[in-house]
A and B are shown apart, each in its own frame.
Chain A
Amino acid sequence: MSDLINTTIIIATVASGIRLATPFLLASLGESIGQRSGVLNLGVDGVMLLGAFAAYYTVLKTGNLFLGIMIGLILGALIGLFYAFITVNLQAQQGVSGIGIYLFGLGMSDLLFQKLVGTPRPIMPFRILHIPLLSDIPIIGEMFFDHSLIVYVAFLLVPLLSLIINRTTYGMNIRAIGENPEAADSLGVSVGGIRYSALIIGNMLAGLAGAALAIELGIFQHNLTNAMGFIAIALVYFGAWRPLGVMAGSLVFGVVAAIVLQCKTLGLIPRSASDLAAMAPAIITILALVVVANRFRQPTALTKPYVRGG
């Protein structure tokens, strides 16, 4: 046993967990901003898929990774704009319209891939960015400071979003609108405007999550995300709508998956039980929801369209 589980493996597993967590983290950070402002978006997975394809295709054609990331972000912003229009202005049922966005993204990304690319062709992923000094720290350095740029970006977004939500006027407006839009409106805060911006930012992050996934893997494929977006939504509940909580949730999800994977590699999990092991994240999430649902309330106005005086 002791020779099976050594420091290298632990380092690799943690590093792998961090990598696996990254797209979840980006997507659920985005979703949490939208939900904080009172809008549920079940279409995250669709946005991720479209973002992934857009980024992949851009990089394939131009070889420019940053352009790919930009296109993923822009695409997310456009979908966010559209989603804001139907949920804020048209007051569409949020649960169901999100499913529509998901189906659209699922079909559209596949369609475009088949028509524009066809045979999967690889793109060059981000190079590993060793952070000077920090990556030289034994163990810790390899675990945390030996990743690609996008991983650092995702994790740096956590304190940044915490700061924005808790310390800026904009963040305060988002929090107020998710709880009591009427009160915010009565003080002259534009409920629609804030929701638009929150949804645009949120969907940009979903697009970025997809772009990061495609670029990290260097490839695109039909349903590349494998319903990651849905898990990202659950992680928002898991993390009680707070960036730090969402990060914890993503890390738990990623590291559990990495551990399961590593155990399979080492033959510690019988092959017949691997399907049952795959249920673990979903079941853990439901259990977490049971605990969280009564402890942390969701934003009071979540899923409720705001109509003045209505």
Chain B
Amino acid sequence: MMEESGSVPVLEMRGITKHFPGVVANDNVSFNLLKGEVHALLGENGAGKSTLMKILFGFYPPDAGQVFLNGHAVNLTSPAHAIANGICMIHQHFMLVPTLTVAENVALGLRSSRHPLTDLAAVTKRIQQLSDTFGLQVDPLAYVWQLAVGERQRVEIIKALYRDASILILDEPTAVLTPKEVDDLFQILRQMAEAGRSLIFISHKLHEVMALSDRITVLRNGCVTGEANPCDTSRAKLAQMMVGREVKLAPDKPHTQICEPRLEVKDLVVEGDRKTDAVCGLSFQICGGEVLGVAGVSGNGQRELAEAICGLRKPKTGQIKIDGQSVPSGNAKAAREAGLSYVPEERMRDGAIADFNIFENFILLNHGQKRFCRMGFLRFTPIHQHSRTLIDEYTVKTPNLETPAKNLSGGNIQKLILARELSSDPKVLIAAQPTRGVDIGAAEYIHERLSHQRTNGTATLVISEDLDEVLALSDRIAVMFEGRIMGIVNREEASRERIGLMMAGVDPDSPPADYCPSPE
């Protein structure tokens, strides 16, 4: 499939560096792409994959580095420019206009044959042709808001096909697809590669990467940590390159007495943002002193589950009980009063107020309590005292109490939130991605605090994409796939292999063989 190795790569990115306030998203990254090749980019969340691709697509200018197309240096200053150079990108998040039809979305940005009028009839015809050739079922006249997630992904692909890109970037195109849809997509992508197009493919799912790509580049913390060929590497090796460290052993887990169930969830059905059921009838219980880990790829309903339990999202049906008491649904305040704490996944959106200072963030939940508030007036002496205690206890690094939260580093913001959430000694704790983007030291500390809480008798639900974290913390592990629990396994019976397969929606009893394209 690959051309002879001596040829000039269609694309080369050299020494790309990109800073964002507070982070180095890409640090001297070099990357190349050959004609007809599927080149995969792997990396943890925040490794800088999307940023690199957006630079290639002209979305951001790089701080340093140069892009070469067919050996010529180019300065891609805007998406229009990139498109003109034959580069198309399917973004991690849908780039569709819901109030326009499929045909209009496809035609957007193209010069119409009947300029200045649109020529949607011609576009429709061409879409139909494409959908016939590639087997992409989609109604060109439907409005995008009417489409299901999978169909929207197909529209994104049609947009790229329509533009006849020579370089196609696919940023996590499979994150929202069913296995069948993934298979279909791969078929199309292979067809495209065979037709001489070059593809960059981003995914967190190792087996997909192994199945599709000709070459794999791994990013970590904005740096390239290695390149591999899928035929002579293994998932474990890739994981090692991605994470950059040995898998840690679980922290000490003193046996805690299992008493009555503290959190009961029954027949929970929750609608997602896309108005389809994101959680489809979940039931489970967590006892005091127990940690239930929820593993799974993001977007399989974990977030909706957490939000429904915390009263931020009203479930369609189902019941939530804390200590046997039913909690009114869709009421964040009531859930908190019933003894629930929540460490949210998006900490700067939900967990903290960036422009509030440290102590204001500490009292976000309980500023109305008597000890902090008398007759409507805040009592700063006890508030400051409380904040200092928490800062010391959780070793939050901050110049002073008046520092706005936005000036703290990611790890310290997470410590701040954790300190606040645990200070009320909750009956039930939901922790979503508790250590995402946090350095090892802080992550260890956070794990320690969570175990400590477990010893104190809190029922904890830990939601994480990081399998090591789930394995380290949990007493039992539930794997979520497409809004359902694939199964709950005890820690002792859980292996990475088994959980990983369940995460991919595969029944552990019949694991699929790794696919490696055989040379023609």
Contacts and interface: CB of A to CB of B under 8 A. Distances in A.
The answer to whether any beta carbons of A and B sit under 8 Å apart in the complex is yes
A169 interface: yes
B23 to A, nearest CB: 13
Contacts of B111: 169
A173 interface: yes
Interface string A158-169: 000000000111
Interface stretch (B97-105, B249-257, B327-335): B97-105
Interface string B64-96: 000000000000001111111000010100111
Q: Is the interface of B mostly helix, strand, loop or mixed?
A: loop
Interface string A140-177: 00000000000000000000000000011110110110
Contacts of B83: 187-188
A296 to B, nearest CB: 11
Contacts of A170: 116
Interface size bracket, B side: 20 to 34
Contacts of A182: 95
A169 B91 CA distance: 23
Contact of B100 (A169, A175, A185, A309): A175
A308 B96 contact: no
A186 B89 contact: yes
A91 interface: no
Contacts of B60: 308-309
Given A169-B112, A180-B96, A308 B59 contact: yes
B95 A180 contact: yes
B107 interface: yes
Contact of A184 (B54, B97, B112, B116): B97
Dominant SS among interface residues on chain A: helix
Interface string A199-241: 0000000000000000000000000000000000000000000
B109 A179 contact: no
A290 interface: no
Contacts of A92: none
B436 interface: no
Contacts of A184: 97, 108-109
B118 A183 contact: no
A189 interface: yes
A179 B144 CA distance: 12
B95 to A, nearest CB: 4
A301 to B, nearest CB: 10
B117 interface: yes
B122 to A, nearest CB: 13
B248 interface: no
Nearest to A184: B108
B99 A175 contact: yes
Given A172-B104, A308-B60, A188 B79 contact: yes
A190 B91 CA distance: 18
A81 B183 CA distance: 51
Contact of A187 (B81, B108, B117): B108
A308 B100 CA distance: 21
B159 interface: yes
Which of B89, B108, B116 counts the most A-chain CB atoms under 10 A from its CB? Answer: B108
Nearest to A180: B97
Interface string B110-143: 1110011110000000000000000000000000
B96 A183 contact: yes
Contact of A188 (B78, B98, B115): B78
Contacts of B57: 186
18 contacts: A167-B117, A167-B118, A169-B111, A175-B97, A175-B99, A175-B100, A176-B108, A179-B98, A182-B95, A183-B105, A186-B89, A187-B83, A187-B95, A187-B109, A188-B78, A188-B79, A308-B60, A309-B60
Given A173-B108, A183-B95, A189-B108, 20 more contacts: A167-B117, A169-B107, A169-B116, A169-B117, A170-B116, A172-B100, A173-B109, A175-B97, A176-B108, A182-B95, A184-B109, A186-B59, A187-B95, A187-B109, A188-B82, A188-B83, A188-B84, A189-B109, A308-B60, A309-B54
The 3 tightest CB contacts between A and B, nearest first, are A188-B80, A187-B109, A183-B95
Interface of B: 54, 57, 59-60, 78-84, 89, 91, 94-100, 104-105, 107-112, 115-118, 159
